[in-house]
Each structure stands twice: as structure tokens, then as C-alpha cells.
Amino acid sequence: MASENKSAAAFRTIGEVAQATGLAPHILRYWESRFPQLRPITRAGNRRYYRPEDVALVERIDRLLNREGYTIKGVQQLLARDATPIAASVAPAVDDAAGSLAAIRDLLARAIADD
């Protein structure tokens, strides 16, 4: 199969993800409608391409639903709760980086003006 020769960072089609996970393509499409975090890239003809992080999320959803016994609503709540701390922890880092970059920009502007 072609996906066996792909790098780990390569995009996967819905068929490749279905075969790798043992899930039917219609289940993957349904999950896309139920879990806003699962958003593969779509190209012409509505063809889906799953990034490695999408495949990891599919595997996590599969584990939670089919092995750990969560309901769809339970997984939705779990994923929503997990996303909130990440966003909150990233925002200060982005602000710090933006402030640092602005300070560097100002320093460079002064150096150019002095030159």
C-alpha cells in the first residue's frame, strides 16, 4: 500500500486513515461533524487529507469511544476541556514573544538610524 511508503509527516487520505485505524470512512466523516477539533484539509472535490495530528486525534477518539467506554458527548467535553488549558498557556508565551520581537525591532531601527 502507498501509505506504508509515506513519511510520518505525510498527509493521509480518508481511505488510508480508515485502513490504518480499522474505522469505516463514514465513521470518520461522522466524527468530523461531531468533533470540531477534527478538521482534515479538504481539496477539490471535497477530498479529505488528514495531517498527522488529525490521525492522532482519530486514534484518541477511537480509544475513548470504543475501548474506554466514553459517549460521544463525553469525548466532546473531554476534548473541549483539554483544549482550553493549552490555549490559555500559549497566549502568554505569544505575548512575550511579540514583546521581545518588538524590542528587537526597535533596537534594530535605532541602530540603523544611528548608522
Determine if residue 87 is left, alpha or beta; phi over 0 gives left, psi from -120 to 50 gives alpha, anything else beta: alpha
Q: In the prediction, which pLDDT does 4 show? A: 63
Q: pTM score, two decimals?
A: 0.68
Yes or no: domain 2-84 corresponds to CATH 1.10.1660.10: yes
Per-residue model confidence (pLDDT) at position 1: 47
* Positive/negative CA dihedral, 108, 109, 110, 115: positive
Q: Which residues of the chain have pLDDT under 70?
A: 1-4, 84-96
